[in-house]
Amino acid sequence: MRQIISFFIGFFLLVLTACSSDDAEVMQDPVVPQAQTISFFINEDAHNPSQDGPYGSKTEDMILISAENLKIAFNKWGALSFVQVAVTEHFPNGARVKNFYSSTNYSAYNFTFHMDALDEVNKRVKGSFAGFAYFDPVTLTLESKFISGSFDVNYIDVVAPIKYVRHDAKINNVDWHQTNRYFTNGAANDNNNVVMHDVSDNEFQIMVHYNLQTTQVGTYDFVDSDVSNKIQVAKYDSQTKTYTNYATSGKLKITQKEFVQGNTYIISATYTATGVNPNNSSDVIAVTDGTIKYVTFSHP
């Protein structure tokens, strides 16, 4: 290989010599780092962060932009996870910081986010955003702030402490990727019964019902009336700002329940599910290629 490389280098130099009788030095332009830009408004107040970059970090498929009192999280396909802005309020006896967030549910309906470009080779991402951020991002009934802005920044890759913690599926044959998550528990008067609510930026929510104590590796054929070891799908109504839970049945296969430490476990699963609107039997949601990996905590 070294001989082949030497041949081409020698041939290249020979061509240069033949083309010019003068001694010449081949100069290369220095690489100039592209300037980073990020700016945003909170209501009508302009913010232009002055910190040095990079402003971003990428952990597997998720990207986080962070600058002073602003955070924006989204995945590499451009689905928004959240926008958070910290607002300092001043009072005669001091000051306090309040955090405002984009809507947790159906964020694309309530907040406009565009990922204009993602360069995973040069680690650069560009986008813009505009919409309301709420003190309560679930019910959207409390105080809000209108924020807007744009970014064109570098990012660094960060290694995830536990790899591939995610939830992916196809909903009616369209790729769906979880970008946000919250938990509820206490079904059937048992606090070990947990519901993992996973949402993307669209109107669909997929819920995973399991029991911290009894869920084990195995295959579970489930119906809607089951309390645990099942999947449930729901669709967001943008008018009422509530979800309609679909009657869901299917097959859930728990492939891993791995002890980490203390009361912490990693659970992995695959599934398929079909949801039927209880108010309209012709409205069906088909979920295929469901793949889940998540971290959970059992009671000591």
Give 212's pLDDT tier (boundaries 50, 70, 90): confident
Q: What is the 3-state secondary structure (H, E, C) of 29-92?
A: CCCCCCCCEEEEEECCEEECCCCCCCCEEEECCEEEEEECCEEEEEECCCCEEEEEEEEEEEEC
Q: b/e string for 211-235 if b means 16 or more Cβ within 10 A?
A: bbeebeeeebebeeebebbbbbbbb
pLDDT at 26: 47
Count of CA atoms in the C-beta half-sphere (13 A) of 262: 7
Give 11's pLDDT tier (boundaries 50, 70, 90): very low
Give 299's pLDDT tier (boundaries 50, 70, 90): low
Residue 159 has pLDDT above 50, yes or no: yes
pLDDT at 16: 32
pLDDT at 10: 37
The predicted-structure confidence for 267-290, as pLDDT tens digits, reads as follows 999 999 999 999 999 999 999 999
| Portion of the chain with pLDDT greater than 90, in percent | 62
Q: Determine the average pLDDT of the residues in 94-118.
A: 93
pLDDT higher for 179 or 30?
A: 179
Q: Determine the average pLDDT of the residues in 78-102.
A: 91
pLDDT at 280: 95
The predicted-structure confidence for 42-51, as pLDDT tens digits, reads as follows 998 888 776 6
Mean pLDDT score across all residues of the chain: 86
pTM of the model: 0.81
pLDDT at 44: 84
Residue 17 has pLDDT above 60, yes or no: no
pLDDT at 144: 95
